[in-house]
Amino acid sequence: MNTDVEELLREGMERFTYDLRAPAGIIRRAARQHCRRLMLRSAAGLAAALTAGAVALVAVQSPGAGDAGSEGPAITTAYVLGRVNRALSAAAPDIAQLQVSARGAMFAGKPATLSYVEWIYGDSGRAVTTSPAGRLIADNSVVAASSRWTATVVSYTAQTWARWVTEIPALRVPARTAPYSCQASTYPGPFAQIPWALPASRAPNPSAIHAVPSGPFLVPGTDSATVAADLRTAISCGTLTVVGRQRVDGVNAIKLRPRHSRAGLAALAQPVETVWVNARTYLPVRMTVGQQSQRWTADISWLRPTAGNLAKLTAPIPAGFRQVPVTQVVQAILTEIFGHSVRL
Amino acid sequence: MATERSMQELECFLAGRADHLLRTAVLLTGSREAGEDLLQSAVERLLRRWRRFEGDPEGYLRRTLCNLATDGYRRTGRWRQKALLLRSQLPQPRDATGDVDLRDALVRLLMQLPARQRAVLVLRYWEQLTDAETAVVLGCAEGTVKSAAARGLMRMRELADNWNDKNDTAAGHGAKGKRS
């Protein structure tokens, strides 16, 4: 084998790169970058000469200041990803609010578009799920405090609710045994944490409640703690590249997509398909996962952890709803989602 | 007096060689987007002196790619190194033959080597330069190239030996029956 290592390495390099093609217009891009550097230099020189205006001038022209989408720095993929990484790092203490649309999710035995809103904040989180017709189905939350979770599940169809307290390890989502990685993973859906709050003998098969296509784990109760951390890992997987700009809900956004060779980088599974980041703040504002028929789309907002926003993490109990054992609430929710009776 | 080169000449040259240079850049950096950025930076440097450039532009770009990859360029992307380490820990899908998996594993190991060592292996086994040519590109002594290549290959061989041992063990277990 030793004598073959050099040959195997060479073949490995071939496999890793064989269908890579240089992007069109590389000279134009290099020329633009060169011009920007010259502008930066002349700005810096001028700033040195003008003592009073120096600071302001360099601040306007230097990379990292202002809107990268309009002026100044060369917008290379590495630059954008570096800024996104830093923005996510700064946003780690914020609450991530995700408006999710899961096309191709199974509802009542048929593929449909399920939507839900999630708030995720470290080990705490909440998901409000609506049916394809827009009717409220369920509201479930887990709020972490002093190594315990207070879990609440509300069924809007049965008009029932349950609340219980558990040690955090007991409720952790088993499917998420490791932090988000570049490897493809299955997104457990908004109901993932429910079965593990039940006695083991009554817990349904986890795979039975996977309501959405594969995607990133953005669920509470996970080791990597925050959506920001997961997204940072996602962008660090090394395959995202800047492909252009789009407006997302009125925001000027930079679009990032994986671009990889079939032979080489395809071996590294790519869970995140497309990410749009705000061109001014560099925080992700939208991400999609999956194919045309099965697509998970999340519009992301970042909320400061004020008292008002933290209150969003707990599912409220609507007036007139009955408190029942947790199994009854979960049974009602799962029966509606599966479209047939589910006994726990 | 040297004649001025036209931009068309540069375009023609890149039309023929940019794909290969991108592959070299990707091998030096470990990812496509970093490779593209690296190549773009190298082309930018060539552009600055193109009109009066004398010599082999491919050699110049190759040297610039290596210098940028081994010097300051990597400082701007430390977080990428973490990503590469993460990748190296991923269980990879198995191909039909163990050799195909091993090739991928060797490339992943290549990405973890120190930048200079990696550049040596890329130049020796991808660009197929001699030790002497590699030394000229990297601006170091031939002995330095030889020792860097030997160290890199030693790690590759260790990986290959472990890989074979593992495959042998797995084959032994497989004979007893698969677990679901």
Q: How far is B63 from chain A (nearest CA, A)?
A: 17
Going A70 to A75 to A79 to A80, the CA torsion angle's sign is positive
Residues 6 or more apart whose CB falls under 8 angstroms from that of A42 comprise none
A267 neighbourhood in chain B, CB within 8 Å: 92-93, 104
Q: Give the pLDDT of residue A323.
A: 95
Chain A residue closest to B27 (CA)?
A13
Query: How many residues in total does chain A contain?
Result: 344
Q: Give the pLDDT of residue B89.
A: 33
Q: Give the pLDDT of residue A319.
A: 94
Nearest CB among B23, B32, B105 relative to A241 is that of B32
Rounded (5°) CA angle B30-B36-B37: 95
Q: Which residues of chain B have pLDDT under 70?
A: 1-4, 72-100, 166-180
Cα B7 from chain centroid (whole Å): 28
A82 neighbourhood in chain B, CB within 8 Å: 76-77, 79
Q: Give the pLDDT of residue A251.
A: 86
pLDDT digits (tens, 9 = 90+) for B64-74: 999 888 875 44
Rounded distance between C-alpha atoms, residue B56 and residue B68, angstroms: 18
Residues of chain B numbered 92-121 and touching chain A (CB < 8 Å): 92-93, 99-100, 102-107, 110, 121
ipTM of the complex: 0.78
Instruction: Tell me the pLDDT of chain A (344 aa) as tens digits.
Output: 445 788 888 888 888 887 788 877 777 777 666 655 555 444 443 333 322 222 222 222 223 333 333 333 346 777 888 888 788 777 767 888 888 887 777 777 777 887 888 887 776 778 888 888 888 888 888 787 776 778 888 999 999 998 877 665 544 443 333 334 454 433 334 444 443 334 333 343 433 333 333 223 233 333 333 466 666 666 666 667 788 888 888 888 988 876 654 443 343 334 446 788 888 888 888 887 766 666 778 888 888 889 999 999 889 999 999 999 887 887 888 788 777 776 65
Q: Give the pLDDT of residue B145.
A: 93
Sequential DSSP letters for chain B: -PPPPPHHHHHHHHHHHHHHHHHHHHHHHSSHHHHHHHHHHHHHHHHHHGGG--S-HHHHHHHHHHHHHHTGGGGGGHHHHHHHHHHHTSPPPP-SSHHHHHHHHHHHHHHHS-HHHHHHHIIIIIS---HHHHHHHHTS-HHHHHHHHHHHHHHHHHHHHHHHHHHHHHHHHHTT----
Rounded distance between C-alpha atoms, residue A153 and residue A299, angstroms: 24
Six-digit token string for A328: 């009854």
Q: Which of A33, A68, A343, A340 has the alpha carbon at shortest distance from A203?
A: A343
Q: How far is B86 from chain A (nearest CA, A)?
A: 8
Q: Give the pLDDT of residue B68.
A: 85
Strands in chain A per DSSP E: 95-107, 110-121, 124-130, 136-145, 148-155, 160-167, 240-248, 251-258, 274-278, 284-290, 295-303, 322-323
Rounded distance between C-alpha atoms, residue A206 and residue A202, angstroms: 12
By the CB < 8 Å criterion, does B133 face chain A? no
pLDDT digits (tens, 9 = 90+) for A75-97: 677 788 888 878 877 776 788 88
Chain B residue closest to A7 (CA)?
B125
Does A240 sit within 8 Å of B33, measured CB to CB? Answer: yes
Helix boundaries (H) for A102-225: 168-171
Q: Give the pLDDT of residue A171.
A: 40
Q: How far is A263 from chain B (nearest CA, A)?
A: 10
Nearest CB among B43, B86, B157 relative to A2 is that of B157
Nearest CB among A1, A26, A267 relative to B40 is that of A26
Chain A residue closest to B31 (CA)?
A238
In a 13 Å sphere around the CA of A8, the CA atoms on its Cβ side amount to 26
By the CB < 8 Å criterion, does B140 face chain A? no
A270 neighbourhood in chain B, CB within 8 Å: none
Q: What backbone phi and psi angles, to 5 degrees, belong to A234?
A: -60, -45
Does A15 sit within 8 Å of B86, measured CB to CB? Answer: no
Q: How far is A143 from chain B (nearest CA, A)?
A: 30
Q: Give the pLDDT of residue A239.
A: 62
Q: How far is B74 from chain A (nearest CA, A)?
A: 11
